[in-house]
Amino acid sequence: MNDLERYFNNNAGRPIQKWQHYFDIYDRHFSRFRGSEVHVVEIGVCGGGSLQMWKDYFGRDAKIYGVDINPNCKKLEEESIETLIGDQENREFLESLTVEIPRIDILIDDGGHTMEQQINTFEVLFPHIDKNGIYLCEDLHTSYWKRFGGGYHKAGTFVEYSKEFIDRINGWHSHRVTEFTESVDSLHYYDSVLVIEKKPREKPTKARVA
């Protein structure tokens, strides 16, 4: 059991809403940032328990930002935890976050989970993730759920939209190099979660004996 799962199991404080298998995914991708001055943004605050979980996990040098449409989330601020209020579907609001938050090392999209919200959030905030940072969008099962705008293989869902990322990361081989090709190291698809790891990349070369 990792520290996040342990924290969740022992938590008697503010509520946390996560799926069980997410803890391993978080730990696999986030552990290298522990103990550093990491800036973490989570869209979707709800009861605020996950913000406190991140604070505990990343340590005292971390800065945790929660973003939510519900103004009551402002009351959940404490040392190292700041909340910003607004609608993640609104691109102007998302742009304003890039001014208010000095750096984003890790972004977790756990907000309203509709297709427009997930796509707008990705399009506006992904370019602002640090060059060695991580973008994680969770609850992608809504891409299959009608009430969130989803449907199996339906055009415009976040899952369908993100399938294009496979072509973008392979851009060197189709002569379609984009900023995405040059800045994304890897894509990790899990049940309901996509993790995008950034790292500056150059044109790949065949390995040769020195």
Ligand X SMILES: C[S@@+](CC[C@H](N)C(=O)[O-])C[C@H]1O[C@@H](n2cnc3c(N)ncnc32)[C@H](O)[C@@H]1O
Nearer to ligand X, 115 or 169 (CB): 115
Task: Give which of 26, 200, 174 is closest to 7, Cα–Cα.
Answer: 26
Number of residues binding to ligand X, judged by CB under 6 A? 20
Inter-CA distances, 155 with 23, 109, 159, Å: 30, 21, 9
Nearer to ligand X, 38 or 45 (CB): 45
Does the protein bind ligand X through residue 111 (CB under 6 A)? yes
Positions 140 through 159 that interact with ligand X (CB under 6 A): none
* Dihedral sign from CA coordinates of 179, 154, 69, 6: negative
Residues listed for the chain: 210
One of 2, 3, 7, 18 touching ligand X (CB under 6 A): 18
Does the protein bind ligand X through residue 49 (CB under 6 A)? yes
Cβ-based neighbour number of residue 178 at 10 Å: 12
Dist CA 4 CA 27 (whole Å): 7
One of 25, 38, 46, 76 touching ligand X (CB under 6 A): 46
- Tell me the three state secondary structure of residue 87: coil
Cβ-based neighbour number of residue 55 at 10 Å: 18
- Residue sitting closest to ligand X (CB): 112
Active site residue 21: no
- Write out the two tokens for 59: 């340590």
Cβ-based neighbour number of residue 122 at 10 Å: 21
Candidates 43-51, 151-159, 162-170, 198-206: pick the segment binding ligand X (CB under 6 A).
Answer: 43-51
Candidates 38-46, 126-134, 160-168, 193-201: pick the segment binding ligand X (CB under 6 A).
Answer: 38-46
- Write out the two tokens for 100: 């208010």
The answer to whether 106 and 41 are in contact (CB under 8 A) is yes
Beta carbon of residue 161, minimum distance to ligand X (angstroms, whole number): 17
Beta carbon of residue 50, minimum distance to ligand X (angstroms, whole number): 3
Beta carbon of residue 27, minimum distance to ligand X (angstroms, whole number): 15
- Write out the two tokens for 97: 């976050």
The active-site residue out of 21, 29, 39, 113 is 113
Contact pattern from residue 54 through residue 93 relative to ligand X, giving x for each residue in contact according to CB under 6 A and a dash for the rest = --------------xxx----------------xxx----
Enumerate binding residues for ligand X (CB under 6 A).
Answer: 16-18, 42-46, 49-50, 68-70, 87-89, 110-112, 117
Residues that are catalytic? 113
